[in-house]
């Protein structure tokens, strides 16, 4: 039996006391945990020590590269197109990947978007797309590369071979109160994105009430850490800090978010969804060397829609099929005339989850037709009795708990009481 080069307890003590782990120590720790030598309770102690004491930039880089080394790494050198990708830290009504990937790909750039499923109040891109009849998330490597070459855009599930250490470590963080540790968030996201092999990456880092990290300073630190990791690994990386205090767009759910995305691709849709889609598309294209693209024109003239339809068909979906519709709806109306002065993202995300749009456990199914459709946004003038939002679910008994989540989350008042939630795009970081 081989003798291990380090003792796990020594490394835990070093990090507990604010020490810096060396590259060989981190490489060994990640490998030993992946193969089961380091026990879950030991890695739990290590993640808590990291949560409390942080990590230096070199340590975060070493941790990220060590996690990449536990699995395969994709290579797009055989493609005739340059690759660029986007990652969002997730939020309420965040369906931007759906219109963004085909929009960028319509300019001849390959967008290999490996996405995930939702957990809790943030929706998953794959859950949304699976509301399209026939569409499938799982592709073979051959199908994946062929679609990138032929269509340009792929949104699919990441294979289990990419950074398997991250999957194991994420599950542990989820049950030990260490999810919010910025070194661990950054290495988790970037190990998968770097292993994915893209040449350029644009990060959409959310802040505010409906975001993973509420505080803009923490979001800024995360964005800076991830852009540094990308640059250290040779991936051209930029980040935007974007506002998640208010739901994004009017649709929160799965099928209804697909409908709203198609509206954007058809040249319409909500102003905030269009603004963020266009901002990220311009950056992704600039990273790929295209600086003169008429991004808005591609939404209005059908260019992006053509790529969307080709992308959906390539993965077995029918872009013309009817999307699921919920069996039951409940409309909430304005109690008085005035201005919608308040609309908080997180309670609306929780309410949609309770309606069946999300899952409490990874293995739970989602109800694709469940969700919330907003009919007004903060600053809009409303009249008494006017619909403010509609809840949709297959079981009417879900409405009560959804409404409980929405208590005090919205208000109609005088225009002078309007909450200033700030701009949608707050900052660019590179």
Q: What's the pLDDT tens digit per position in 204-249?
A: 999 999 998 999 999 999 999 999 999 999 999 999 999 999 999 9
**293 shares its domain with 375:** no
CB 155 within 8 A of CB 97: yes
CATH number at residue 389: 3.90.1170.30
* pLDDT recorded at residue 364: 74
**Structural domains counted in the chain:** 3
At 40, is the pLDDT very low, low, confident or very high (cuts 50, 70, 90)? very high
Residue 398 lies in a domain: yes
Give the SS3 label for residue 281: helix
* pLDDT recorded at residue 362: 65
Please state, in angstroms and rounded to a whole number, the distance separating the CA atoms of residues 386 and 404.
21
Q: For residue 324, which of 135, 175, 174, 158 has the smallest C-alpha distance? A: 135
Catalytic residue status for 173: yes
At 128, is the pLDDT very low, low, confident or very high (cuts 50, 70, 90)? very high
Lowest mean pLDDT among 105-114, 169-178, 224-233: 169-178
CATH number at residue 49: 1.20.970.10
**34 shares its domain with 102:** no
pLDDT of 413 higher than 80: yes
* pLDDT recorded at residue 427: 96
**308 shares its domain with 395:** no
Catalytic residue status for 375: no
**222 shares its domain with 348:** no
Q: What is the mean pLDDT of residues 29-56?
A: 96
**287 shares its domain with 336:** no
Instruction: Using the 3D structure, point to which of 314, 342, 360 is the last residue of a domain.
Output: 314
**283 shares its domain with 372:** no
Please tell me which residue in 61, 95, 167, 173 is annotated as part of the active site. 173
Task: List beta partners, residue 86.
Answer: 202
H or E stretch at 44: helix 40-53
At 147, is the pLDDT very low, low, confident or very high (cuts 50, 70, 90)? very high
The predicted model scores a pTM of 0.94
* pLDDT recorded at residue 85: 95
**255 shares its domain with 375:** no
Please state, in angstroms and rounded to a whole number, the distance separating the CA atoms of residues 271 and 260.
11
**384 shares its domain with 413:** yes
**228 shares its domain with 355:** no
Residue 227 lies in a domain: yes
Please tell me which residue in 188, 191, 219, 261 is annotated as part of the active site. 188
Catalytic residue status for 192: yes
Catalytic residue status for 166: yes
Please state, in angstroms and rounded to a whole number, the distance separating the CA atoms of residues 139 and 292.
33
* pLDDT recorded at residue 121: 64
Catalytic residue status for 188: yes
Q: How many helices (H) and strands (E) does the chain have?
A: 16, 13
CB 283 within 8 A of CB 103: no
Residue 357 lies in a domain: yes
Instruction: Using the 3D structure, point to which of 287, 314, 341 is the last residue of a domain.
Output: 314
Please tell me which residue in 61, 121, 192, 220 is annotated as part of the active site. 192
**345 shares its domain with 402:** yes
* pLDDT recorded at residue 386: 98
Residue 148 lies in a domain: yes
CB 127 within 8 A of CB 364: no
pLDDT of 118 higher than 70: no
Residue 402 lies in a domain: yes
The tens digit of pLDDT for each residue in 317-376 reads: 999 999 999 999 999 999 999 999 999 999 999 999 999 998 776 667 889 999 999 999
Please tell me which residue in 166, 204, 272, 373 is annotated as part of the active site. 166
At 278, is the pLDDT very low, low, confident or very high (cuts 50, 70, 90)? very high
Residue 238 lies in a domain: yes
pLDDT of 119 higher than 70: no
Residue 40 lies in a domain: yes
Please tell me which residue in 61, 86, 87, 359 is annotated as part of the active site. 87
**346 shares its domain with 283:** no
* pLDDT recorded at residue 297: 97
Percent of the chain with pLDDT over 70: 97
Instruction: Using the 3D structure, point to which of 265, 284, 314 is the last residue of a domain.
Output: 314
Residue 429 lies in a domain: no
**407 shares its domain with 364:** yes
Domain of residue 135 covers 85-314
* pLDDT recorded at residue 358: 85
At 117, is the pLDDT very low, low, confident or very high (cuts 50, 70, 90)? confident
What integer best gives the mean pLDDT of the chain? 94
The tens digit of pLDDT for each residue in 187-209 reads: 999 999 999 999 999 999 999 99
Q: Tell me the torsion sign for CA atoms 86, 248, 374, 214.
A: positive
Burial class of residue 4 (count of CB atoms within 10 Å of its CB; 0-12, 13-18, 19+): exposed
Please state, in angstroms and rounded to a whole number, the distance separating the CA atoms of residues 326 and 254.
11
């Amino acid at each position: 039996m081989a003798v291990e080069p380090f003792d796990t307890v020594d490394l835990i003590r070093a990090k507990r006391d604010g020490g810096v782990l060396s590259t060989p120590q981190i490489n060994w720790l990640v490998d030993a945990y992946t193969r089961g030598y380091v026990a879950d309770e030991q890695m739990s102690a290590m993640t808590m020590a990291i949560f409390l004491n942080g990590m230096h930039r070199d340590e975060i880089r070493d941790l990220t590269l060590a996690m990449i080394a536990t699995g395969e790494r994709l290579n797009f050198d055989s493609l005739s197109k340059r690759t660029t990708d986007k990652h969002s830290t997730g939020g309420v009504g965040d369906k931007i990947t759906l219109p963004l990937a085909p929009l960028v790909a319509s300019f001849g750039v390959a967008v290999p978007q490996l996405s995930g499923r939702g957990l809790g109040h943030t929706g998953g891109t794959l859950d949304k797309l699976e509301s399209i009849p026939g569409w499938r998330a799982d592709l073979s490597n051959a199908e994946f590369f062929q679609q990138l070459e032929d269509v340009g855009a792929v949104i699919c599930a990441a294979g289990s071979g990419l950074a398997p250490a991250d999957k194991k470590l994420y599950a542990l963080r989820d049950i030990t109160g260490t999810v919010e540790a910025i070194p661990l968030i950054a290495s988790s996201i970037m190990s998968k994105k770097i292993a994915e092999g893209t040449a350029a990456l644009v990060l959409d880092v959310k802040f505010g009430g409906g975001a993973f990290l509420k505080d803009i300073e923490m979001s800024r630190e995360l964005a800076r850490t991830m852009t540094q990791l990308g640059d250290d690994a040779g991936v051209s990386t930029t980040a935007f800090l974007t506002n998640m205090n208010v739901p994004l767009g009017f649709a929160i759910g799965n099928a209804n978010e697909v409908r709203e995305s198609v509206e954007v691709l058809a040249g319409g849709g909500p102003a905030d969804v269009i603004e963020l889609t266009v901002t990220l598309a311009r950056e992704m294209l600039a990273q790929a060397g295209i600086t003169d693209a008429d991004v808005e024109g591609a939404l209005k003239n059908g260019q992006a829609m053509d790529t969307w339809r080709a992308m959906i068909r390539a993965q077995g979906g029918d872009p013309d099929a009817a999307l699921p519709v919920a069996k039951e709806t409940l409309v909430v109306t304005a109690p008085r005339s005035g201005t919608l002065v308040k609309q908080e993202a997180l309670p609306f995300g929780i309410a949609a989850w309770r309606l069946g749009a999300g899952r409490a456990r990874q293995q739970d199914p989602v109800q694709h037709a469940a969700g919330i459709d907003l009919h007004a946004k903060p600053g809009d003038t409303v009249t008494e009795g006017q619909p403010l939002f509609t809840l949709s679910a297959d079981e009417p008994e879900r409405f009560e708990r959804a409404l409980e989540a929405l208590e005090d989350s919205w208000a109609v008042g005088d225009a002078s009481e309007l909450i200033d939630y700030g701009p949608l795009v707050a900052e660019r970081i590179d």
